[in-house]
Amino acid sequence: MKLIKCRKCGGYIHFVATPGGKSMPCDPEPKEYWEVKGGRQRIVRPDGVVVACELEGTPGEETGVGFVPHWATCAHAGEFRKGGKVNGK
């Protein structure tokens, strides 16, 4: 896994290839997740599929292990959105 530093927050990230051929920036630490339709959080599976989930649940009943998208943890995530706009401004 090749790690690079986020150019805004300085945190380490790595890229996971999505099924559509794009690269999703993710935090490098794998996390257990519990897949929940309509869940509040997102996880990127090792195969690049993004699923709705919760990151806390009953031990032993987790769905699997994946990576948290960096936009969920980066304090500057809004600065990377298309057009550099945050919340449409």
**Residue 11 in tokens:** 């945190």
DSSP 2-28: --EE-TTT--EEEEEE-TTS-EEEE-S
- pLDDT truncated to tens, each residue of the chain (89 aa)? 899 999 999 999 999 999 999 999 999 999 999 999 999 999 999 999 999 999 999 999 999 999 999 999 998 887 776 654 444 44
Residue 5: its pLDDT value, please? Answer: 95
65, 81 Cβ separation under 8 angstroms: no
Residue 81: its pLDDT value, please? Answer: 64
Residue 14: its pLDDT value, please? Answer: 96
Sequence ranges of the domains in the chain: 4-81
Residue 82: its pLDDT value, please? Answer: 62
